[in-house]
A and B are shown apart, each in its own frame.
Chain A
Amino acid sequence: MKPIRTGKRLNLRRNEAISFYLCISPWLIGFVLFVLGPMLASLAISVLRWDLLGEASFVGLRNYERVFTRDPLVWQSLKVTTIYTAVYVPMELVGGLALALLMNQKLRIERLLRTVYYLPSVLPGVAFVVLWMWILHPDVGLINTLLSYVGIDGPRWLVDPDWALTALLLMSMWGLGRSMVIYLASLQGIGRQYYEAAAIDGANYWQAFWRITIPMLTPTIYFNLVLSVISTFQTFTSAYVGTDGGPLDSTLFYVLYLFRQAFQFFRMGYASALAWVLFVIILGLTLMIVRSSRRWVFYGGERE
């Protein structure tokens, strides 16, 4: 009897494994077609000079050489993207968290407020940007109008190379609600008992904030930080629609430059080299955050 039973169990196991691979086959095929294949193809294309129409010619590492040594616009775009990311990500973290803390006061109009804060972040990017181009209009825009009420002569925002990137940052603040919702949910998941214990020990608000709230939020902050850095580094729509990279390349984001090389100049090889460089940068940034997380992310308490 015994051998047969083991055989049967093996059979069941094998059937389950087959079912598993059947179930995930759409994703697995998609992974090969849209991720693994293209990644490898991208590497192969990056050593070519190819405009899609004519013959491709092998140029070795010359595309990479140009990226690193002979193309000042690459550095400009890296500079713009890095500054924007370095300002936006902390701003989103602090702003989103501040809004979430505000909401967590159990205000009676919490649901209404949450809707108001959250709504802008789900709106279509192009319409969002077009609306803000109007709000940032140098002469009759909403912002400069409000500034004029308090006697400030507002800058020319999107048309001034010194202010365009700041204008885009200001605009992006309207989308803070997304991270607010995430932090709020996380805040509401912190068990009351920690605060009760702290209150018994005589802790004040600030002590409770730094010793309980922040440590308990670190897993969420960490996760959000990674996603935020990755997505901010890919900023495209606001630059394409809002400023077209200008004025004077002051908002030439990396992905916008990559897009131009690929789909306006049809330099597929060069654009692929740019894409790989982007991949390595984002991977590097992500790994940096992941490695640092061991030192500041607190795992424990209620959620694993």
Chain B
Amino acid sequence: MMAPGSLVDSSTRVGFSARRQRLRIASYAIAIGVAILFLLPLYWMISSSLKPEYQVLASPPVWIPNPVRWANYPEALSYVPFGRYTLNTLSISLLTVLGHVISCTVVAYGFARLRAPGKEALFVVLLATMMLPYPVTMIPIYIGFNTVGWINTILPLVVPAFFGSPFYIFLLRQFFLTIPPELEDAARIDGASLLQTLWYVILPTVSPAMATVAVFSFQTSWNDFLQPLIYLHEQTKYTISLGLSFFRSSYDVRWAYLMAVSFVTMLPIVIVFFLAQRMFIEGITLTGMKG
């Protein structure tokens, strides 16, 4: 590989500079080459989604659709009720975000700021549950939701979010620990209640981390497949990923349509990603590094 880390700027040292120059050019070449490889699938998806049927399967392949067939989009999206699926997914995702943001902030505040017997042990338990594979508990949870009659509703996908999620609690706790506690102390000395302190003092300072949690929670919920697959059986209740999977397996494969729908499924996440890339990165580095 190229230079590890970046050694001290030794460009001032004569003799090294020519070698460094070559190294930089090589770095750029590799970086751009890999970037092209990473972009190619996306290009292929979009170009395929705009091709008329006979060009999709053409060999040698057609790189640029000609003519561009925009009609693939409305046709593919009306073939199966994807508008409905999008609304379903959106309502599940937004409720999940709401649940996670509220519950995780409160729980993280407790873990970061308040002293109580048993706290350390409980925090270890919280960290341990971060590692617990979902398939291990999936069956009893399903049976539980089945008993209360929640199968085929969005409740099993949404309600657990209101009980927090260890990953986000951990992330928010790390953030709380970087904020000096003086402000809250002042508020409490002035006689503010716990809820008042949370609302007026904590919330404004911690809102960037809450936004990070919201972005992650939205992405995870939007992308989820296993849980909707288990809980949603009626077609009208499908999420967009479930609908896409169903569309793929039920339809005599028309790749232009499938690519159009795949693109539409990805689009909200791509938009969120471009709007909030910083949060994505802060989120995974905050939790990824200080484990």
Contact = CB atoms under 8 A, between A and B. Distances in A.
Contacts of B180: none
Interface residues of B, number: 102
A35 to B, nearest CB: 5
A122 B219 contact: yes
A122 B280 contact: yes
B34 A126 contact: no
A129 B190 CA distance: 56
B119 A195 contact: no
Contacts of B40: 142
Contact of A278 (B44, B115, B133, B166): B133
Contact of B4 (A16, A42, A206, A276): A206
B136 A220 contact: no
A244 to B, nearest CB: 8
A134 B259 contact: yes
Contacts of B39: 116
Interface residues of A, number: 111
A282 B91 CA distance: 34
A250 interface: no
A113 B35 contact: yes
B136 A174 contact: no
Contact of B35 (A41, A117, A208, A224): A117
Contact of B289 (A37, A131, A185, A278): A185
Interface in A16-65: 16-17, 19-24, 26-31, 33-35, 37-39, 41-42, 45, 52
Interface string A245-279: 00000000001001100110000100110011011
A241 interface: yes
A74 interface: no
Contact of A38 (B137, B240, B245): B137
Contacts of A34: 137, 141, 160, 163
B18 interface: no
A187 interface: yes
Contacts of B8: 192, 195-196, 199
B86 interface: no
B288 A223 contact: yes
A226 B60 CA distance: 44
Contacts of B274: 115
Contacts of B203: none
Contacts of A13: 115
A37 B132 CA distance: 14
Interface of A is mostly: helix
A205 B45 contact: no
Interface string A231-243: 0011011001100
B265 interface: yes
Nearest to A214: B4
A272 B140 contact: yes
Given A119-B270, A237-B225, A187 B110 contact: no
Contacts of B45: 131, 134
Contacts of B241: 124-127
A182 interface: yes
Contact of A130 (B146, B242, B244, B289): B244
B163 A24 contact: no
A195 B39 CA distance: 34
A196 B285 CA distance: 25
A206 B4 CA distance: 7
A23 B143 CA distance: 29
A185 B287 CA distance: 11
A140 B57 contact: yes
Contacts of B48: 134
- Max count, chain B CB within 10 A of own CB: residue among A30, A133, A189, A276: A30
B289 A186 contact: yes
- Max count, chain A CB within 10 A of own CB: residue among B57, B60, B285: B285
A158 interface: no
Contacts of B117: 17
Closest 7 A/B residue pairs (Cβ)? A30-B163, A23-B110, A209-B4, A223-B291, A17-B116, A20-B116, A185-B285
23 contacts: A21-B116, A22-B194, A26-B106, A27-B163, A28-B122, A34-B137, A37-B140, A38-B140, A102-B2, A103-B31, A105-B6, A123-B266, A124-B241, A130-B248, A134-B255, A182-B285, A196-B8, A220-B288, A226-B131, A237-B225, A240-B229, A258-B135, A263-B142
